[in-house]
Chain A
Amino acid sequence: EDQVTQSPEALRLQEGESSSLNCSYTVSGLRGLFWYRQDPGKGPEFLFTLYSAGEEKEKERLKATLTKKESFLHITAPKPEDSATYLCALRWRNAGNMLTFGGGTRLMVKP
Chain B
Amino acid sequence: SQTIHQWPATLVQPVGSPLSLECTVEGTSNPNLYWYRQAAGRGLQLLFYSVGIGQISSEVPQNLSASRPQDRQFILSSKKLLLSDSGFYLCAWSHGSGRAVEQYFGPGTRLTVT
Do A and B assemble together? yes
* A positions within 8 Å CB-CB of B: 32, 34, 36, 41-46, 49, 51, 87, 89, 91, 97-99, 101-104, 106
Taking a contact as CB atoms under 8 Å apart, the answer to whether A42 and B107 are in contact is: yes
**A91 / chain B contacts, CB cutoff of 8 Å:** 101
- Given known contacts A34-B102, A49-B102, A97-B101, is B107 in contact with A103 (CB within 8 Å)? no
Residue pair B104, A46 in contact (C-beta under 8 Å): yes
Cβ–Cβ < 8 Å partners of A98 in chain B: 34, 46, 49, 59
On B, residues with C-beta under 8 Å from A are 6, 32, 34, 41-44, 46, 49, 59, 88, 90, 92, 94, 96, 99-108, 110
What's the minimum C-beta distance from B63 to chain A, rounded to whole angstroms?
22
In the complex the two chains form, what is the Cα distance from A101 to B101 in whole Å?
14
Residues of B within 8 A of A103 (CB): 42-43
A-B contact pairs, 23 of them (CB 8 A): A34-B102, A41-B88, A41-B108, A43-B6, A43-B92, A43-B106, A44-B90, A45-B105, A46-B103, A46-B105, A49-B100, A87-B43, A87-B44, A89-B103, A97-B32, A97-B96, A97-B101, A99-B46, A101-B43, A102-B43, A103-B43, A104-B42, A106-B41
